[in-house]
Amino acid sequence: MNILLFSAEELSASGQLSLTDRRAEHLRKVLKAQAGDDIRVGQINGEMGTARLLDINEERARLEVTLNAEAPPPLDLTLILALPRPKMMRRVIQSTVSLGVKRIYLINSYKVEKSYWQTPWLEAASLRENSLLGLEQGVDTVLPEIHMRKLFKPFVEDELPQIIAGSDAWVAHPTSEAQSPHVNGPLTLAVGPEGGFTPYEVKKLEEIGFKGFTLGKRILRVETVIPALIGKLYL
């Protein structure tokens, strides 16, 4: 937890915050915070700042909050991502959000098993929880927009052209010859399942303006590809 996040509803009219959950436990057990310490905090979808720890015990932590800084700028990036395997889902959301991605589309693909769409990791509460963990890691406050599209062809033909309008659109694919794109403005990246999109899916993406690129000859896990690619492009 590199920043302690709270909702607007949790903050009292006098600017105080009272915590009794894992955040208080983290202050006590991990940070070993004591009364008088300053803690980096942020209001979800709002400003960041510091909080003076007023008192802390086994049951509660009480802080006085001052917000005076904007959240870091987001990446001008839209991620189109074939739904990962459920056991990867948690890590993928956390790492992607921690890197500053604010627009994520989880889509279907031929290699995505139907059962993946039944995972509890896709429930709204789970997506929010893992997004918050990503924000805590990356020192950010703004939650991402996460959309789910279970039908590949209608999404690509009817909706995706409007999504990519005004941006460079690239699809990562192991058999492409071009190297990773350069960032010159808004960017839309499509990342398939492990092994990549099928040739038909790549063709459909190319028909609406996507260009293919590769990260090399190795076949990487999705949880590895996204941080590697975003790091190469932006960091």
pLDDT at position 178, please? Answer: 67
Phi/psi region, residue 233 (left: phi>0; alpha: psi -120 to 50; beta: rest), is alpha
pLDDT for residue 19 is more than 90: yes
Structure tokens at 66: 């001052």
pLDDT tens-digit map of 111-169:
999 999 999 999 999 999 999 999 999 999 999 999 999 999 999 999 999 999 999 99
What does each C-alpha distance from 118 to 1, 83, 112, 114, 122 come to in angstroms? 29, 11, 12, 8, 8
pLDDT at position 176, please? Answer: 67
Phi/psi region, residue 127 (left: phi>0; alpha: psi -120 to 50; beta: rest), is alpha
Percentage, residues of the chain above pLDDT 90? 82
Which of 82, 109, 122, 125 lies closest to 226, judged by CA?
Answer: 82
pLDDT tens-digit map of 73-114:
999 999 999 999 998 999 999 999 999 999 999 999 999 999
pTM of this prediction? 0.92
pLDDT tens-digit map of 213-234:
877 676 778 888 888 888 888 8
> Is the CB of residue 41 less than 8 Å from the CB of residue 50?
yes
Kindly give the pairing relationship between strand 61-69 and strand 4-6: unpaired
Query: Binning pLDDT at 50, 70 and 90, where does residue 179 land?
Result: low
Structure tokens at 234: 């932006």
